[in-house]
Amino acid sequence: MRKNFSLNDSSVLITGATAGLGAEFARQLAPVSRHLILTGRRQDRLHELATTLQQKHPRIKLTQYCADLSSTAERERLASWIIREEIPLNLLVNNAGLGDLGSFDTATWERLSEMLDVNICALTHLTHRLLPMMKLQSSSGSSVGIINVSSVAGFFPLPGLAVYAATKSYVTSFSEGLRMELSKEGIRVTTLCPGPVPTEFFQVAARPKQSTNAGDRTHPMLASSARLVVSAAIRALERDRPGVIPNRLLAFLVRAVCLLPFPIVRAAIRSGAGPRKPEIATKN
């Protein structure tokens, strides 16, 4: 395994870069990167972020790539462009994600399908398409890594967030398996599992008449800022850690609950005494 790992002068693809953690990843990686590829669905947001970053970091190359990653065709178009242009990708940040707050039976299938496509299919598809190029980069001696944004919600089945939590459980499991496969290639994989972060997540995930304020849904001691979450993720990748929960108290609570017999955890979640769905909803 490569001992020295550096993101200096790297080429980076960040999905879901229009807001929240994606935009924060861009802000923190811009000072050290050679080329940032920012992708998201809102062209105006991408342009605003890219313009701001370019003004602060004139030497960096910034590419805005507007795409709806719930679409297989658009994911293929993005990956094919990167491969065709022979962009030497060092870091893939699979950050794009969607949520839905409410009972499963009252959700629209369109919303659930879109969430499955973005949270699971987009992350898996882009990784699959871009990995051969990233392996070539690694074999040439370059530092190469993947950050997959999961959630502490992925550690528990959550009523009211049943599909979202299940998608994040997939992300965590997939990332662990991929890390084991790629360790011999010198490619690092880190899973980011944040708890509540004051971003637009709740505004997008909430249904009509639901609260969209993350502060209403969690204890302040369990929340973390986007800046702290992203810096913890980058630091974890640099230290070759398999995963990180960027809040010490939340990390302790999650690990403690995971040690309990599952019938106790189930009963606690049902009663609301355990990690309730609003408290461990997330982020991007």
Pick the catalytic residue from 25, 65, 155, 164: 164
In 3D space, the residue among 185, 178, 174 whose CA is nearest the CA of residue 143 turns out to be: 185
* Catalytic-residue membership of 164: yes
The catalytic residue positions are: 164
